[in-house]
Amino acid sequence: MADKAQELYRKLFDRIKEAQMLSDVISLLGWDEQTFLPRGGSDYRAETMAYLSGMLHKKITDPDVGAMLSELEKTDLVKDTDSVEAVNIRELRRDYDRQTKLPQRLVEEISRTTSLAVNNWVQARKDNDFPKFKPWLDKVIKLMKEKAECYGYKKEAYDALLDEYEVGSNVEFVSGVFQGFKDRLVKLVAKIADSSRKPNMAIIEQYFDVERQKIFGQQAAIAIGYDFGTGRLDIAAHPFTTGLGPKDTRITTRYNPHHLGQALFGTLHEAGHGIYDQGLPKEYYGSPMGESVSLGIHESQSRMWENQVGRGKPFWKHFYPRAQQVFPEALGAVKFDDFYFAVNDVRPSLIRVEADEVTYNLHILLRFEMEHALIKGDLAVDDVPGAWNEKFKAYFNLTPPTDSEGCMQDIHWGHGLLGYFPTYTLGNLYSSQLYAKAKQEMPDMERQFEIGNFAPLKKWLNEKIHSQGRRHHSNKLCEKVTGKPLDPNFLMDYLEKKYGELYGF
Ligand code: CO
């Protein structure tokens, strides 16, 4: 009996490995599309990728897979629920059910509608013409509600959409977490805005030679533990990380010759994602135990290296003298404290992707509240611009002069990515809580950063997070590692302490 179960498990493993290889080919084409593909090649590339995606979908929704899973679920392999086999069977069941719950018609309609919606969004944003985008947003919201019905949910439709990106999360959990820091965060942002201390931004907005930036960024990525033996760093207009195999992780960044921070912090961010992928157990590659848990946990890794480490004093104690050597004209005469303040500038601003680590979470809170209301039916698409501006005034004390700089700034809604935004802030929250735990267990950690040794933190994350694959869902993983479920006070304590010192309160 046991042998038979093992044999079936191996058969299933081989099947999903084939699907993984196909998926890797698609990812490679996608990576190439965003890095090196000549513009003329994009139509044919889109066609090729759509064809292969169809093949992949067929492979992973094959009824044979469902039948094998049903058999395996009756065997002893699932007895120890934390075992590799049990985790793989549980998670493959989840993936399979989600993939098969949507009727082909709906999948195609979502794909067609969102691609047209994105095209219309691009134009509408350019022309600051919300009425042009409105009918498309309407269609997308309707389709997302239909999708949620197909997936099913316990309490409300938005739960099903959240669960797609952050397994096991729901409105109750996410709004509880957000409520836990909303007031404190709004107050902190107001205090910073009121402070008379302001960094001199001219320091990092000077000319920084791009070739030198590349060398400096690569050295920083290596220092924090991104492995160039199994990874690359290239240029892309919209930076991203992708994994193409157990020993092939690719990150991208973009360079601005008049800003030191954009490429550097972007590189640290993507290297954080890359270090997670490189730390996943290679022997389980292609199966859930060899995959990352969720977008929130993935983002916790990137944000930790970008913000907690990369914008921290200990990091710059080591790297600032080096930065001064690489960019002597720009930084030679700039004092450490002035530079450190400039890379930690906080100010309420209109655009999410340009926001600092403090105000960023308010941008997400606003989007979460709005999309939740849209799916619930409490907010009509007609009222989106008005509701957006009202919330913006309340949280940022700013009014967007145009909808392009307001409710139309992000691609997500046109793309059908509802339920996605909260993962960014969950990432920040998990990041703070994990970092606090690492520091508690390794009191010497930040002193090591000062001498350029980031290995202890990387090793700690490898062991506690990366090697676990999808064994535990995010919040349980957080509890296992830190002894507590997600608690927003860790983020707030960190932000209040750091920015209180910088802004003088
Ligand atoms: Co990210």
Give me ligand 1 centre to Cα 299, in Å: 5
Give me ligand 1 centre to Cα 490, in Å: 20
Q: What is the pLDDT of residue 108?
A: 87
Is 132 buried (19+), middle (13-18) or exposed (0-12) by CB count in 10 A?
Answer: middle
Q: By C-alpha distance, which of 404, 381, 400, 382 is closest to 390?
A: 400
Question: Which of 238 and 503 is assigned the larger pLDDT?
Answer: 503
| Single-letter amino acid code for the residue at 188 | L
Give me ligand 1 centre to Cα 3, in Å: 42
Least confident of 101-115, 121-135, 344-358: 101-115
Residue 244 is inside which H or E element, if any?
strand 241-245
Q: Contact at 8 Å (CB) between 231 and 251?
A: yes
Q: What global pTM score does this model have?
A: 0.95
Instruction: Identify the DSSP state of 405.
Output: T
Q: Which of these is catalytic: 85, 164, 166, 270?
A: 270
Q: What is the pLDDT of residue 251?
A: 98
Bridge-based pairing of strands 231-235 and 248-253 is parallel
pLDDT at 480 over 90: yes
Q: What is the pLDDT of residue 1?
A: 56
Give me ligand 1 centre to Cα 298, in Å: 7
Give me ligand 1 centre to Cα 310, in Å: 14
Give me ligand 1 centre to Cα 295, in Å: 8
Give me ligand 1 centre to Cα 270, in Å: 6
Query: Where residue 2 falls among pLDDT bands split at 50, 70, 90?
Result: low
pLDDT at 325 over 70: yes
Give me ligand 1 centre to Cα 311, in Å: 16
Give me ligand 1 centre to Cα 33, in Å: 19
Mean pLDDT confidence for 148-166 = 96
pLDDT tens digits along 21-56: 999 999 999 999 999 999 899 889 988 988 998 899
Give me ligand 1 centre to Cα 271, in Å: 10
Q: What is the pLDDT of residue 112?
A: 87
Q: Is 225 left (phi over 0), alpha (psi -120 to 50) or beta?
A: left
Mean pLDDT confidence for 362-374 = 97
Instruction: Identify the DSSP state of 259.
Output: -
Which pair of tokens denotes residue 301?
A: 């890794």
Give SS3 for 233.
Answer: strand
Give me ligand 1 centre to Cα 329, in Å: 32
Average pLDDT across the chain, whole number:
96
pLDDT tens digits along 469-479: 999 999 999 99
Q: Contact at 8 Å (CB) between 242 and 27?
A: yes
Give me ligand 1 centre to Cα 357, in Å: 13
Domain boundaries, the chain: 2-129, 173-503
Give me ligand 1 centre to Cα 234, in Å: 16
Q: State the Cα–Cα distance between residues 286 and 291, nearest whole angstrom.
A: 7
Mean pLDDT confidence for 374-394 = 97
pLDDT at 13 over 80: yes
User: In angstroms, how far is the first alpha carbon of the chain from the final one?
Assistant: 68
Is 229 buried (19+), middle (13-18) or exposed (0-12) by CB count in 10 A?
Answer: exposed
Q: Which CATH architecture has domain 173-503?
A: Orthogonal Bundle (1.10)
pLDDT tens digits along 174-189: 999 999 999 999 999 9
Residues with CB under 5 A from ligand 1 (ion): 302
Q: Contact at 8 Å (CB) between 400 and 390?
A: no
Give me ligand 1 centre to Cα 379, in Å: 29
pLDDT tens digits along 52-87: 988 999 999 999 999 999 999 999 999 999 999 999
- Residue 270 falls in the annotated catalytic set: yes
pLDDT at 166 over 70: yes
Give me ligand 1 centre to Cα 383, in Å: 30
